Amino acid sequence: MELKNKIIVALDVQTADEAREITRELSGHVGAFKIGLQLFTAAGAELVREFTKAGNKIFLDLKFHDIPNTVAKASVEAARSGVWMFNVHVSGGGEMMEQTVNQVDETCGREKIARPLIIGVTVLTSSNEEVLREVGAGENVEDQVVKLACLAAECGLDGVVASPHEVKAVRKAVSNNNFLTVTPGIRPTLATRDDHKRVTTFGQAIANGSDYVVIGRPIIKASDRLAAVEAIVGEI
Ligand code: C5P
């Protein structure tokens, strides 16, 4: 895969128009666009459908975490909206993930729609050991990520979101060689971290084996976004 296609640009903006402007500027220069909580709450499912109908690959990043029936039904709607990838929190449990995979598979088969990739969120890159202790979710970030990644793989998910620091450990622990790793927390230089506690550069993430990297602010806030993408890819 071409390096630029490994980049998923986070459309973390307030309005549909800003998101349209970014997709116009970067379509064909990156692999996909991510619609997360901010834009979805502001502009809704209509915008998701507009982008998928226009042929954009969309990662719907709503990090579903609820009872199994609710997550499975929301996931079926995500599939119907034509997204390429969406995610659920692995900490929602095995039954939640299995019902989701089963219902999405069943609906996509019956309605002849492309089956989206289903990705599990492990430990957010804004979390560290202190945060894990605070919420009673284990002591060690890497151990927790590996444990959740193995559970996601057992339940039939296609991959996980993790920090690039944990990609090697996930690869070692999960036997499925096609299991994907999607990694946010990417910065052109490690001087800026924003709210991430675990960051790497694009080059380090790819060297560690990340399949896709999610990049928001370093690209969308740049005065020349295409130049920002080229500089990031140019690191390698
Ligand atoms: O601007 P920045 O590059 O930090 O954006 C990172 C993006 O990755 C955000 O949209 C955030 O919601 C997302 N993210 C994620 N999973 C994590 C951490 C961040 O999807 N574990």
Checking if the pLDDT of 236 tops 90, the result is: no
Instruction: Compute the CA torsion angle 28, 58, 36, 209 (nearest 10 deg).
Output: -70
**61 CA closest ligand 1 atom index:** 20
Catalytic residues: 63
CA of 171 to the centre of ligand 1 (A): 21
Atom 8 of ligand 1, residue of closest alpha carbon: 184
User: What pLDDT band is residue 93 in, cutting at 50, 70 and 90?
Assistant: very high
CA of 184 to the centre of ligand 1 (A): 5
User: What pLDDT band is residue 231 in, cutting at 50, 70 and 90?
Assistant: very high
Instruction: Compute the CA torsion angle 134, 68, 82, 90 (nearest 10 deg).
Output: 30
* Pair of tokens at residue 119: 């990705």
- More reliable by pLDDT, 128 or 43: 43
Residues 94-146 pLDDT 10s:
999 999 999 999 999 999 999 999 999 999 878 889 999 999 898 899 999 99
Rounded to an integer, what distance in angstroms lies between the CA atom of residue 8 and that of residue 32?
5
Residues 172-227 pLDDT 10s:
999 999 999 999 989 987 667 777 777 899 999 999 999 999 999 999 999 999 99
